[in-house]
Amino acid sequence: MQFARIPGITLALAAAIAMIGCGKKEEPQPQTAAPAAAPAPAAKPEVVVKLGHVAPMTGPQAHLGKDNENGAKLAVEELNAQTLEIGGAKVKFELLSEDDGADPKQGTIVAQKLVDAKVNGVIGHLNSGTTIPASKLYSDAGIPQISPSATNPKYTQQGFKTAFRVMANDVQQGKILGEFAAKQGAKTVAIVDDRTAYGQGLADEFKKSAEAAGLKVVATEYTNDKATDFKAILTKIKSTKADLVFYGGMDAQGGPMAKQMKELGLKAKFLGGDGVCTPEFTKLGGPATDGHYCSLPGMPLEKLAKGPEFKDKFTKKFNAEIQLYAPNAYDAVMVMADAMKRANSVEPAKYLPEVGKAAYDGVTAKIEFDDKGDLKGGAISIYQYKEGKLNYVETLGMAPAAAPAAAPAEAPAAAPAEKK
Amino acid sequence: MDIFLQQIINGLVQGSIYAMVALGYTMVYGIMGLINFAHGEVVMIGTLVAITVVTFTLKLGFPVWLAGATGIAAAAAVCMALGWSLERIAYRPLRNAPRLTPLITAIGMSIVLQNVAMMVWGRNYMTFPSLVEKTQFEFGGAAFTSVQVMIVLVASISMGGLLFLVYRTRLGMAMRATAQNPAVAGLMGVNANRVIASAFVIGSALGAIAGVMVGTYYEIAHYQMGFMLGLKAFTAAVLGGIGNLAGAMAGGVLLGLIEALGAGYIGDLTGGFLGSHYQDIFAFVVLIGVLMFRPSGLFGEKTGDRA
């Protein structure tokens, strides 16, 4: 009986919706036509370029997601202030920001949402774990994607023509960290990772490199990216008397881990990748982080030609410290816009080849991609924590070809943006 | 040996926290047969309130002990009010509804509280100011701090106080009577509403203390921290026999020990086949094991039709 009634109701509802729909369609036509018609002769037609941005805006890494979003937002605002013309039309950039919660499942859901919204390009995602599954969707839809921060090598190794990243990957970073550990005089090393695509990937590369440099891996332990208690695994590491603890993971775990190491009386030095190279790490770890090392892809902002200027702009605008990848997110947007300008089109299919040919003098580096979409000549810098501050130690790896050189040839593209 | 001892200490401290939270689950379940899945979030709010108040009072120039005491008092007050309102808003109107309905509201409240906390305190990790000087001790090669000693002490005192309340006071007697048979207790002049509300309030107060413990121990807090803690504490309550106070305490400590020893030794025992990433899984393996082989828990009596 009940089943019989439902189609009736749904039919009625459908009819009602259809009627409302029709009504809507008819109504706005004269309304929108009028204002659109008036300024048309005066100004050129305006094209809205929709840029998707995806990062965790909730969850333990929300502070990093917000940071990326702010970087991208700054770039979009600057682009709009330039009133660019591409393909004979004025373009207005619009940022569609989505939250993937650092969760691969959520990552593909919002990626599909952006594909359905027909975005012209995607900046993101933040984590390797979300970037890799989402990249398939963007590739299928032919939408160029530039990740500001996903460092897992797999991302660009899938053979997608749409996948790019604007920083050194984990193979480069892990290798350098392993060599650095050996250089520090460590003989034995314990490795902990958080089993995410990023943490695990970095730890694996570190292990390979450390072993190649003659270090002995005495313990391999794991945690997860939501844990707060590491005493059990640290106790085990203590029993191995390792000289150095390497952590592949993020600051929210790394900080408390450093603290608990001290409480357990571990004398080992702590070394981590870019995930723990943040102000948050030392905020959470307190004085226990003193003397620990971490690495960041690229050069320190202060040492880059446009770095201090970017920092000023950023802190003035958002009244917040740069956490980590905001400059990279900024560059990612700029590289994409630059490719659109050179292609004279905002159509993904038309400007995609130009992204690959980028030679953009960005804030973080001279951005050029290799045939896979990886950043050419990605450098890695090592930092040490002292009294709650990150102190630059040295830059290792491939020569940072771009950084000090002003590259005047490429300047025109970037210069207007930087003067604002 | 020192490593074994260290793992025991790690587990004991973690377990004391689980036990304190588990009491909140077990008290509510014991009296009205409801699993208050929002309890983990009550603990989380307790931690965040304590952080805010302690940071603020320290800024005002309060001495550390006073700031700490104010923080604990504020956390307890807010959590008690929260526990009372939860019961009043989410559970009392549904007291005669089918069993599934209050379970769904419980999960709903947990999500609501998480989001409210996110809006109030933001999404970032917060640092808990150090209240106690962390003196480090050595015992048989194992290291522990004054904070850890304090956590175990405070947990023992609170649990002792709770046992006294339940077995030696009029309110406790009313609670036990209501747990046994609400209708008959009502006929004997027990105000069931008041008893149930007090179970929520007391459970939440213990949760607030547990929240402050988590805060001082790890010195970080976050709006999502209540979820996993709540699940673990719930497991501890089931392990000890849900509805049984002493069981919840024993279950909590036992679960802490299982986790610490499990994470510390599983890699060696299985030759590296299983690793320390199973630390969180132990709790749920234990939960499934208990539900399969001894649903009434280690110390639980026959749960009868209320299970």
pLDDT in tens, B64-115: 999 999 999 999 999 999 999 999 999 999 988 998 999 999 999 999 999 9
Q: What angle do CA B261, B266, B270 make, to 5 degrees?
A: 155
Angstrom distance (rounded) from CA A330 to CA A123: 9
Contacts of B47 in chain A (CB under 8 A): none
Q: Which amino acid, residue B256? A: G
Q: B225-240 vs B100-121: helix axis angle to the nearest 10?
A: 140
Contacts of A286 in chain B (CB under 8 A): 127, 130, 219
Residue B11 near chain A (CB below 8 Å): yes
Surface-to-core class of residue A92, CB atoms within 10 Å of its CB (0-12 exposed, 13-18 middle, 19+ buried):
middle
What is the phi/psi pair of residue A303, to 5°? -90, 0
Cβ B263–A232 below 8 Å, yes or no?
yes
| Per-residue model confidence (pLDDT) at position A31 | 45
8 Å CB contact between A306 and A223: no
8 Å CB contact between A38 and A81: no
Cβ A263–B134 below 8 Å, yes or no?
yes
Give me B89's structure tokens. 């808003």
What's the rounded mean pLDDT across residues A280-299?
A: 91
**In sequence order, which residues have a C-beta less than 8 Å from that of residue A88 and are 6 or more positions away?**
A44
Q: What angle do CA A296, A301, A305 make, to 5 degrees?
A: 135
What's the rounded mean pLDDT across residues B27-40?
A: 92
Q: What stretches of A223-280 adopt beta strand conformation (E)?
A: 244-248, 269-272
Domain total in chain B: 1
Q: Quick check: A398 pLDDT over 60? A: no
Angstrom distance (rounded) from CA A277 to CA A323: 9
Cβ B10–A231 below 8 Å, yes or no?
yes
Angstrom distance (rounded) from CA B247 to CA B298: 7
Q: Quick check: A226 pLDDT over 80? A: yes
Q: Which amino acid, residue B243? A: G
8 Å CB contact between B190 and B177: yes
Could you tell me if residue B12 is inside a domain?
Answer: no
| Per-residue model confidence (pLDDT) at position A32 | 43
**Homologous superfamily (CATH) for A171-297+381-396:** Response regulator (3.40.50.2300)
| Per-residue model confidence (pLDDT) at position A61 | 86
| Closest chain B CA to residue A240 | B3
- Min CA distance, B9 vs chain A (Å)? 10
List pLDDT tens digits, range B117-145: 999 998 788 998 887 778 888 888 888 89
Could you tell me if residue B111 is inside a domain?
Answer: yes
pTM of the predicted protein model: 0.79
Could you tell me if residue B54 is inside a domain?
Answer: yes
Residue B267 near chain A (CB below 8 Å): yes
List pLDDT tens digits, range B265-286: 888 888 777 888 788 888 889 8
* Alpha-carbon torsion (B16, B18, B19, B21), positive or negative: positive
What is the phi/psi pair of residue A105, to 5°? -65, -50
Share of chain A above pLDDT 70, in %: 84
List pLDDT tens digits, range A106-150: 999 999 999 999 999 999 999 999 999 999 999 999 999 999 999
Contacts of B127 in chain A (CB under 8 A): 283-284, 286
Cβ B7–A227 below 8 Å, yes or no?
no
- If contacts are CB pairs under 8 Å, which of residues 194-223 in chain B contact chain A? 218-220, 222
List pLDDT tens digits, range B186-202: 999 999 999 999 999 99
ipTM of the complex: 0.89
Could you tell me if residue B268 is inside a domain?
Answer: no
Cβ A238–B123 below 8 Å, yes or no?
no
Angstrom distance (rounded) from CA B232 to CA A175: 38
Cβ B143–A265 below 8 Å, yes or no?
yes
Share of chain B above pLDDT 70, in %: 97
Contacts of A195 in chain B (CB under 8 A): 277
Q: Which amino acid, residue A382? A: I
SS3 B246: helix
Cβ B264–A232 below 8 Å, yes or no?
yes
- Min CA distance, B92 vs chain A (Å)? 32
List pLDDT tens digits, range A176-225: 999 999 999 999 999 999 998 889 999 999 999 999 999 999 999 999 88
Q: What distances in angstroms separate CA A217 from CA A180, A194, A212, A238, one per listed residue? A: 15, 17, 11, 13
How many Cβ atoms from other residues are within 10 Å of residue A370's Cβ? 12
* DSSP per residue, A346-374: --HHHHHHHHHT--EE-SSSEE-B-TTSP
Q: B192-218 vs B39-59: helix axis angle to the nearest 10?
A: 60
Q: What distances in angstroms separate CA A166 from CA A31, A118, A299, A325, A377, one per listed residue? A: 44, 23, 13, 10, 11
| Per-residue model confidence (pLDDT) at position A4 | 44
Cβ A231–B123 below 8 Å, yes or no?
no
Could you tell me if residue B69 is inside a domain?
Answer: yes
Q: Quick check: A25 pLDDT over 70? A: no
Give me A166's structure tokens. 């604007």
Q: For chain B, count helices (H), then strands (E).
A: 11, 4
Angstrom distance (rounded) from CA B97 to CA B92: 10
Cβ B123–A239 below 8 Å, yes or no?
no
What is the phi/psi pair of residue A123, to 5°? -105, 115
**Cis peptide bond upstream of B277, omega within 30:** no
Q: Quick check: A38 pLDDT over 80? A: no
- Min CA distance, A181 vs chain B (Å)? 24
- Min CA distance, A280 vs chain B (Å)? 8
B118, B220, B259: residue with CB nearest A256: B220
Interface test mutation site (partner A, options B123, B259, B280, max chain A beta carbons within 10 A)? B123
Cβ A63–B143 below 8 Å, yes or no?
no
Angstrom distance (rounded) from CA B238 to CA B248: 8
* Alpha-carbon torsion (A404, A409, A412, A414), positive or negative: negative
| Per-residue model confidence (pLDDT) at position A44 | 67
Angstrom distance (rounded) from CA A121 to CA A141: 11
Residue with tokens 């890799």: A132
Q: Which amino acid, residue A162? A: T
Could you tell me if residue B207 is inside a domain?
Answer: yes
The total number of residues shown for chain B amounts to: 307
Give me B9's structure tokens. 């200490």
Q: Quick check: A13 pLDDT over 90? A: no
B124, B279, B280: residue with CB nearest A62: B124
Residue B55 near chain A (CB below 8 Å): no
Q: Quick check: B53 pLDDT over 90? A: yes
Give me A310's structure tokens. 């970017």
Residue with tokens 């012209």: A120
Angstrom distance (rounded) from CA B44 to CA B210: 9
CB < 8 Å & 24+ apart, contacts of A355-360:
A355/A144, A355/A146, A355/A164, A356/A161, A356/A164, A359/A410, A360/A331, A360/A334, A360/A335, A360/A410, A360/A413, A360/A414
Could you tell me if residue B140 is inside a domain?
Answer: yes
Q: Quick check: A162 pLDDT over 80? A: yes
- Min CA distance, A223 vs chain B (Å)? 5
| Per-residue model confidence (pLDDT) at position A43 | 59
**In sequence order, which residues have a C-beta less than 8 Å from that of residue A75 and are 6 or more positions away?**
A329, A330, A331, A332, A333, A334, A337, A417
| Per-residue model confidence (pLDDT) at position A271 | 96
Between A272 and A420, the more confident residue is A272
How many Cβ atoms from other residues are within 10 Å of residue A280's Cβ? 24
The residue segments making up the domain with residue B130 are 18-221
Cβ A232–B10 below 8 Å, yes or no?
yes
Cβ B124–A63 below 8 Å, yes or no?
yes
Q: Would you kindly state where each structural domain of chain A is located, as residue ranges?
A: 46-167+302-373, 171-297+381-396
Residue with tokens 């400059």: A327
- Quick one: which H or E segment has residue B28? helix B2-32
Could you tell me if residue B51 is inside a domain?
Answer: yes
Contacts of A275 in chain B (CB under 8 A): none
Beta-carbon contacts below 8 Å between A and B: 101
pLDDT band at A323 (very low <50, low <70, confident <90, very high): confident
The total number of residues shown for chain A amounts to: 420
Contacts of A247 in chain B (CB under 8 A): none
CATH class for domain A46-167+302-373? alpha beta
